[in-house]
């Protein structure tokens, strides 16, 4: 298989993954859009409440970027304060790990039925069946894309330039963080970046430590969406976007020296590389959010002082 064919197929599978995320999110959002905004505005007076709401909404919508865009919009509209938004972003980081855990499940025999049933329900004019069909069809697309990524991992790794990049990532974790940041900033999906890393891990082309480094970088890259949403907005909305960047950068900086420890710990929890990476993402986000939660107020003052 030639390089052009592989790159074309990779682009196709990436498009399927992103379309699946969008369709699934659209179906869930139709059921809960007004409720989502209501939860975000009514139950975020305390940071720990914002964290729980952030987990719930992001787990439902399967996109921390979507939740952050909504949050920035609500801050810009005056429905939320900058201080309230910090708890939500902590929770959204945790909620974003649900999709990475989900795509590690082997349901290959159910993919085709999911796509067919979901596609049929897409023709329904009623809200509930249409939303169900969107969610099911989108989820099926995710698993199709994951199988595609895995099938291309070995052919892609046969090219010298890709071999050099993988070797560089395996040897230099900071390079892996940069790759994860750049790729996620471009494709606007940390889940897709992690999914591609999982395919290399499962084929023993990427070390677990390198996969964790890419995952850490993906957490930084996902901040781009909220930042773009804040451009031209009021001061508090911009502070929300800056806080999101600071939280993720600080979290990655703290965990970067702990990559070997994290890799060793998750290796005891699971045997397959994709599950280990999914668990690493969950542990990183839970611990970093839990450590930041007691310091929300001084952190908010720090962001205001730096970007005020």
With cut-offs at 50, 70 and 90, classify the pLDDT of residue 187: confident
Provide φ and ψ at 264, rounded to 5°.
-65, -40
pTM (global) more than 0.75: yes
Classify the C-alpha dihedral 164-203-104-280 as positive or negative. Answer: negative
With cut-offs at 50, 70 and 90, classify the pLDDT of residue 281: very high
pLDDT tens, 82-128? Answer: 998 999 999 999 988 888 888 787 767 778 888 899 899 888 888 88
Of 49, 26, 40, 39, nearest to 74 by C-alpha is 40
With cut-offs at 50, 70 and 90, classify the pLDDT of residue 172: very high
Q: Please give the pLDDT value at position 37.
A: 63
With cut-offs at 50, 70 and 90, classify the pLDDT of residue 239: very high
Number of domains the chain contains: 1
Of 103, 205, 114, 208, nearest to 146 by C-alpha is 103
Of 215, 181, 184, nearest to 198 by C-alpha is 215
Higher pLDDT, 159 or 273: 273
What count of other Cβ atoms lies within 10 Å of the Cβ of residue 299? 19
Of 25, 141, 72, 82, nearest to 296 by C-alpha is 82
> How many Å apart are CA 272 and CA 280, to the nearest integer?
12
Which range among 77-91, 132-146, 185-199, 247-261 has the greatest average pLDDT? 247-261
How confident is the model over 278-300, as a mean pLDDT? 95
Q: Please give the pLDDT value at position 33.
A: 58
How confident is the model over 66-77, as a mean pLDDT? 82
- For the chain, the average pLDDT equals 86
pLDDT tens, 205-230? Answer: 899 999 999 999 999 998 988 888 88
Provide φ and ψ at 2, rounded to 5°.
-75, 165
Q: Please give the pLDDT value at position 233.
A: 82
Structural domain harbouring 294: 3-307
Provide φ and ψ at 234, rounded to 5°.
-75, 170
> How many Å apart are CA 118 and CA 139, to the nearest integer?
9
pLDDT surpassing 90 at residue 176: yes
pLDDT surpassing 80 at residue 251: yes
Q: Please give the pLDDT value at position 24.
A: 75
With cut-offs at 50, 70 and 90, classify the pLDDT of residue 64: confident
How confident is the model over 4-17, as a mean pLDDT? 83
């Amino acid at each position: 298989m030639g390089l052009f064919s592989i790159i074309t197929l990779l682009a196709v599978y990436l498009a399927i993954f992103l379309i699946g995320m969008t369709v699934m999110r659209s179906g869930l959002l139709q059921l809960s859009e007004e409720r989502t905004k209501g939860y975000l505005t009514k139950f975020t007076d305390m940071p720990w409440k914002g964290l729980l709401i952030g987990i719930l909404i992001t787990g439902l919508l399967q996109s921390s970027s979507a939740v952050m865009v909504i949050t920035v919009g609500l801050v810009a509209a005056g429905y939320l304060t900058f201080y309230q938004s910090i708890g939500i972003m902590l929770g959204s980081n945790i909620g974003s790990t649900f999709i990475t855990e989900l795509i590690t499940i082997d349901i290959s025999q159910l993919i085709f039925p999911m796509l067919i049933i979901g596609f049929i329900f897409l023709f329904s004019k009623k809200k509930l069946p249409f939303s169900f069909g969107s969610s099911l069809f989108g989820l099926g697309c995710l698993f199709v894309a994951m199988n595609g990524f895995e099938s291309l991992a070995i052919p892609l790794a046969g090219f010298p330039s890709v071999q050099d990049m993988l070797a560089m990532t395996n040897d230099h974790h900071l390079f892996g963080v940069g790759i994860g940041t750049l790729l996620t900033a471009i494709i606007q999906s940390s889940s897709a970046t992690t999914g591609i890393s999982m395919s290399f891990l499962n084929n023993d082309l990427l070390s677990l430590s390198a996969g964790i480094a890419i995952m850490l970088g993906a957490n930084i890259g996902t901040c781009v969406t909220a930042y773009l949403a804040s451009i031209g907005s009021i001061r508090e909305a911009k502070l929300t976007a800056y806080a999101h960047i600071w939280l993720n950068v600080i979290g990655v900086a703290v965990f970067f020296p702990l990559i070997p420890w994290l890799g060793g710990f998750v290796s005891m929890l699971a045997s397959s590389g994709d599950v280990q990476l999914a668990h690493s993402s969950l542990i990183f986000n839970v611990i970093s959010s839990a450590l930041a939660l007691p310091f929300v107020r001084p952190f908010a003052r720090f962001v205001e002082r730096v970007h005020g």
